[in-house]
Structure 1
Amino acid sequence: MNKIGDLDVFPLCMGGNVFGWTAGKERSFEILDAYAAAGGNFIDTSDSYMASAPGNSGGESETIIGEWTETRGNRDDVVIATKVGRHPERRGLSPANIRAAADDSLRRLRTDRIDLYFTHFDDPSVPVEEIMKTLDELVTEGKVRQIAVSNIEIDRLQASLEFAEREGTAQYTAIQPHYNLVSRDTYEGPRRDLAERYGLAAVPYYGLASGFLTGKYRPGANVDSVRAEKAARYLETERGNRVLAALDIVAEEQDTAVATVALAWLAAQPTVAAPIASARTMDQLPPLIDAARTTLTDDQLARLTEASA
């Protein structure tokens, strides 16, 4: 297990963005059961998942996860991360909205506390001081155990961290950046330096670059996926093809899947506690679980780092 503050988390976070979208309730339960059976305990979701899907209104993923923990009786065994700020009826980070959204999430998740509560996207119209005070109140009230941050400009992130340190409020313990082998500058550099300075654990999203880093997107391949267009764009770049070639070599050396290697590289990077990856079918799950148990050699890490530069 790895640490996020005082939370013990499995080194691979199960992404809940497909639950209630490309994975229905029954399939989602199967995936969560298999993940838990493999030792997994860290689930990421949001109050806005999957509001954009036809017939949905937002919160479907939270509802499925809440029903799963209730029927399995395992709420105390899992770490649930969810987010605020993007639900169609709860947009923004005003104090009143954060409070209402937290109560909504607690109800859908069928729980009395959120283990890790992320601000999904920053709301520049609200001073960071107000956001941090409101999150601190939720921690004090026991509705939230720890707070975290996702998409935010670095100056606002630094101001938030400095305020919490100065005023003694609850401090962010985690950051959820867009980060993978073909998108490194979205986290590496000043943002990661700030995370290191304040002890933030990184929980990267798009760890497999919308599926591109599974290796299934190749010239001429026809992949049946709602993310196919987004993933295939990486094939149009020299960097994307370099990374695929390096992944193929390391995957063969490790006798494992390309996706496993891509996530193992990410897990080995400074500050990273657990990459997020999602599975919409049962056969997509084993390579993700294997990433939590795979250690790349120094030479393999260097090969991938060089290819992705």
Structure 2
Amino acid sequence: MQYRTIGTGAAAREVSAICLGAMPFGSVVDEATGFAVLDRFVEAGGTFIDTSNNYISWLPGHQGGESETVLGNWRASRGLGDDDGLVIATKLGAKPLTPDGGLEAAEGLSAQAVRSAVEGSRKRLGMDRLDLLYTHIEDRSVALEETVGTLADLAADDTVGMLGVSNHRTWRVERARQISRDAGWAGYEVLQYRNSYLQPRFDIGLPEGGHMHATPELLDYVREEGRTGRAPTLVVYTPLLFGAYTRADKELSAPYDHPGTAKRMAALRRVATEAGATLNQVVLSWLLDNDPPMIPLLGVSSLAQLDEVLEATELKLTIEQRALLDEAG
């Protein structure tokens, strides 16, 4: 397993370079299977686990919080506490307030909503302090000062260890971080966006509601912040595009329908053959050694899928293979 440091100062933590996504636990993945995956991940040196208070509210019969509940049950059954060496990240802001509601009915990021969501997550996870808390989506009905000020208060009283942001426009991330710096508050130190080796067109929206892809502007922002010593950690979700790299029954969506996709897939297949690795493993290795560095966030539903992911951390691409992948498409 490889490791990365996320955060700065006293809040900084070393985490595994692969983050395990717990989104399907308690819904499409039953609790027993979820426990087995979590055990195997930790046994392999994994220390970074991701969930959200709205997982998985969009499936019939679910209301959100199921994934957090499974994680809480697993932690209790294994006798784990707040100082167990794991970093469990959760998110708030996107949980619907009405049954069968979507993002249009999301709880939002007001001070009241944030505090209420945090208490719910702490209870379900069985944690006194949330290791990492993301604001999941934008809420432009609330001033950034209110949201980041409330988060800073939670960090100051040790209810939250580290703060992150997901699916926000780059300019809003920078504005929020500047507000925090100016006020001397704890601010966003981890960013979570969608990314993979295949890149979509940005003039066509992604069909998955709420997903925001890492844009060239966002990546440039992270690199530039690194030059000034303020680089946030970038965690990337959906890195394997729902299985589309390897499964014929999983089609790429419309934003990926452009000439660059075929060129990149040809390069990916060539490198995978040379390296004796799967397409998925090459994608993950490419992300792990990117500029800026990225922590892939992966949800798995079986031990076999997890083993393939874990093996990717041992794959090191050559300079020539890397160049071939970078220059394709």
Structure 1 counterpart of 2:87, from 64, 79, 91: 79
Aligned to 1:207: 239
Unaligned 5+ runs, structure 1: 218-222
| Native 8 Å contact 2:33 2:302 kept in 1 | yes
Count of residues in Structure 1 that have an aligned counterpart in Structure 2: 297
Tell me, yes or no, if the aligned pair for 1:235 and 1:241 is still in contact at 8 Å.
no
From 51, 59, 62, the counterpart of 2:65 = 59
Distance 1:263 1:55, change over 3 A: same
Q: What amino acid maps onto 1:149 in structure 2? A: V
For residues 233 and 133 of structure 1, what CA distance do their matches in structure 2 show?
A: 39
Higher helix content, 1 or 2: 1
Alignment correspondent of 2:175: 159
Query: For the Cα contact (< 8 Å) 1:212–1:234, is it kept in 2?
Result: no
Distance in 1 (CA, whole Å) between partners of 2:258 and 2:294 is 29
> Is 2:50 the counterpart of 1:49?
no
Match of 1:3 in 2: 5
Q: Is the 8 A contact 1:16 1:278 kept in 2?
A: yes
Where 2:295 maps in the other structure, the secondary structure is coil
Aligned residue for 2:64, secondary structure, equals: coil
Write the deviation string for residues 229-287 of structure 1: whole angstroms up to 9, x where unpaired. Answer: 5x465785433332222222111222121111101101111233411011112211111
Identity over aligned pairs, percent? 33
- Unpaired segments ≥5 residues, structure 2: 98-105, 203-212
Distance in 2 between residues matched to 1:233 and 1:296, nearest whole Å: 30
CA gap of 1:194–1:232, structure 2 versus 1, over 3 A, is: closer
- Larger displacement relative to structure 2 (12-21 or 128-137): 12-21
Q: Which residue of 1 aligns with 2:187?
A: 171
Structure 1 residues 21 and 259, CA gap change in structure 2 (3 angstroms): same
Partner Cα distance (2:318, 2:50) in 1: 29
Deviations 1:183-230 (A, max 9, x none): 3774253212322313101000111122223x223xxxxx3xxxx35x
Distance 2:198 2:107 in 1: 30
SS at match of 2:116: helix
> Which of 124, 137, 144 lines up with 2:160 in the alignment?
144
Q: What is the TM-score of this pair, normalised by structure 2?
A: 0.85
Q: Which has the higher mean CA deviation after the structures are superposed, 103-112 or 188-197?
A: 188-197
Residue 308 of structure 2 corresponds to: 287
Normalising by structure 1, we get a TM-score of 0.91
Q: Find 1:69's aligned residue among 51, 64, 75.
A: 75
What is the alpha-carbon distance in structure 2 between the residues aligned to residue 153 and residue 59 of structure 1? Answer: 26
Do the aligned residues in 2 keep the contact of 1:128 with 1:160 (CA within 8 Å)?
yes
The yes-or-no answer on 1:305 pairing with 2:311 is: no
Correspondences of 1:175-194 after superposition (within 5 Å)? 175-183=191-199, 186-194=213-221
Which AA in structure 2 matches 1:4?
Answer: I
User: Could you report, residue by residue, the CA deviation over 1:24-46 in whole angstroms, capped at 9, with x for unpaired residues?
Assistant: 11111111111111111110110
Distance of 2:306 and 2:258 partners within structure 1:
28
1:134 to 140, 150, 156: 150
